[in-house]
Structure 1
Amino acid sequence: MASSAAPEPLTNITDGTSGHATGPTAHFIFIEPKPEGKKQAPLIEAWNRAISLYFTNTENPPFTVLEGTLQKLDAAVLECDCMVSPANSFGIMDGGYDDVLSNAFRGPANDYWALTNQAQEYIKREWNGYLPPGSCVIVPLPTELAGPNNPWKARFIAMLPTMRVPESMAWHRDIVYHCMWSLQVAIKNWNRNHPEGRPIERVLMTGLATGYGEIPAEKCAGQMVLAVHHFRQPVQERLRWAAIVPRENEIVDTINLDVNNGYC
């Protein structure tokens, strides 16, 4: 099981030899509500299985896994620098977990569209109004949204579309892996490009594309955790297929991950 204790400070991951350091890595807080009539949410179990698989020999895996909702879990436990919106490409935050975020960040004016409007400003500026699935943009929260009415202390929203418009993504082999990788790149680049500010260290998020997207829990969890595992590995000076094939095989394995039989 993933620990619920406070994470260690950010560290640089490197092998000290031929690889380049990946830079500071974030700690991810995964939350998922408990469905009625079920002992435990399948995604909760799947996350913990994936963490046990890919971080077997890691003393402090960079994950906290919690069962519950944004509004019902202790805000102090969920304190973070950034929340993730598993958005659509146009930043319209009115469905699923995006709806939860829009209600949480209405601001003093009680404006349901305040968060959507802020996100869309950055999507327009950085991506010409369309953020392709699998891409990510970091959106700073304005003072009126990140102020005292924000018990989670979040300062940013990461727009991370898993789909162009709300629809099933079950056909896509590895959209969750792409998204999780892009999220980490966006965080790394933000921290590097804004050395004067406090870095993004704690990231709060739910499952990616498991609602409208219909991605199975095991596939989602495996790709979310595996992308973090791969991102923490040193970037080699010169990549060749011999180094790429094992990683590719691990990604392909998550596509057919089965809860009862392991890797197919």
Structure 2
Amino acid sequence: MGTAVSSPATISTDTVPPAEIPEIHLLCMVPEFITAFEAAKEKYNLPSSVKVTIHHNNLKYLPTDVKFDAIVSPANSYARLDGGFDDALSRAFAPRNDYHALTRVAQAKVYREWRGFAPPSSCTMVDLDHPDLVKPGWGCRYMALLPTMKTPQNVGWDKEVVYECVWALLATIDRHNRAIAEDQHTNERRIKSILMTPLATGCGLWGAEKWAAQTVIAIKHFVEASAEDGENKWGKMDWREISAPCEEVEDTYDLEG
């Protein structure tokens, strides 16, 4: 009998649709970060299609007429939400008599997806439509758990953590929205707007200029990769093409912070 010859693996010809970049509400308590972001927008050519609204405020006093679908937790890998902006999140979304409610909900999701440890630069979407949580009034349905560090610590040694986190955030939102588009019967909600703060700038000790630069570059690169022709550019790169975006990020290493 002849030997059966297996057919070569078939490569899918399905194309990935362009991504919808969410509107970004940037919450900055310190004017230095607003100045740094505005400068980075100009220096690194943030696409005009990306809408960014800056709020010089803290979460507690953010007006409820500011609406967003998801809020970003700068987090730690173990989803303990009790310090810095995570403390503000717990005070906003947990009942007054149950401060750790948000931590419990987040840790349960991290355990299901990561067995309890979400690596830095990963992104985990946590559904806030939960009976143990309260609804502060911004219309927020999800929390994007986005660890910039394993535990609270100086992460100045991690030279690209902000770029990697912003990319992971946008990619996770894109996958979330595509999954909803494919499943009309889901009770999930599309994420069209987010609220986030400067990443890794608290105990992480990143400076404003470096944070702003990597944030803008990551958004710009993701817009390029997610455009109608992005699959032909970013999905089929050779080493020469790969070097260009890498060098742009590497050029931020020596910035303040």
CA 118–87 in structure 1, closer or farther in 2 if over 3 Å, else same: same
User: Residue type matched to 1:218 in 2?
Assistant: E
Report the equivalent of 2:22: 26
Greater share of helix: 2
SS of the aligned residue for 1:52 comes to: helix
Structure 1 residue 53 corresponds to structure 2 residue 39? no
For residues 230-241 of structure 1, the aligned pairs below 5 Å read 230-233=221-224, 234-235=230-231, 236=233, 237-241=235-239
User: Residue type matched to 1:47 in 2?
Assistant: F
Cα contact 2:64–2:137 (8 A) shared by 1: yes
Report the equivalent of 1:213: 204
Q: 1:72 aligns with which of 45, 49, 61?
A: 61
Structure 1 residue 190 corresponds to structure 2 residue 176? yes
Deviation at residue 53 of structure 1 after TM alignment: 2.3
- 5+ residue gaps, structure 2, are 1-14, 225-229
Q: What do residues 173-232 of structure 1 show as CA deviations (whole Å, max 9, x unaligned)?
A: 111111111111111111112233431010101010100100111111111111110001
Q: Bigger CA drift: 153-162 or 46-55? A: 46-55
Deviation at residue 29 of structure 1 after TM alignment: 1.0
Deviation at residue 55 of structure 1 after TM alignment: 3.0
SS of the aligned residue for 2:251 comes to: helix
- For the residues of structure 2 that align with 1:25 and 1:146, how far apart are their CA atoms? 28
What RMSD in Å do the two structures reach over aligned CA positions? 2.0
- For the residues of structure 1 that align with 2:236 and 2:49, how far apart are their CA atoms? 30
Cα contact 2:166–2:215 (8 A) shared by 1: yes
- For the residues of structure 1 that align with 2:28 and 2:64, how far apart are their CA atoms? 15
Q: 1:179 aligns with which of 165, 184, 194?
A: 165
Q: 1:202 aligns with which of 193, 201, 209?
A: 193
Cα contact 2:93–2:102 (8 A) shared by 1: yes
User: Residue type matched to 1:32 in 2?
Assistant: C
Cα contact 2:109–2:126 (8 A) shared by 1: yes
- For the residues of structure 1 that align with 2:160 and 2:48, how far apart are their CA atoms? 28
Deviation at residue 21 of structure 1 after TM alignment: 4.7
Report the equivalent of 2:6: none
Deviation at residue 142 of structure 1 after TM alignment: 2.4
- For the residues of structure 2 that align with 1:256 and 1:42, how far apart are their CA atoms? 18
Query: Normalising by the residue count of structure 1, what TM-score does the alignment of the two structures yield?
Result: 0.82
Report the equivalent of 2:110: 123
Report the equivalent of 1:247: 245
- For the residues of structure 2 that align with 1:230 and 1:20, how far apart are their CA atoms? 17
Deviation at residue 125 of structure 1 after TM alignment: 0.2
Deviation at residue 243 of structure 1 after TM alignment: 1.3
User: Residue type matched to 1:92 in 2?
Assistant: R
Deviation at residue 97 of structure 1 after TM alignment: 0.2
Report the equivalent of 1:7: none
Report the equivalent of 1:62: 51
Deviation at residue 144 of structure 1 after TM alignment: 3.8
User: Residue type matched to 2:171 in 1?
Assistant: V
Identity of aligned residues (%): 36
User: Residue type matched to 2:119 in 1?
Assistant: P
Cα contact 1:80–1:152 (8 A) shared by 2: yes
Deviation at residue 112 of structure 1 after TM alignment: 0.7
- How many residues were matched structurally? 231
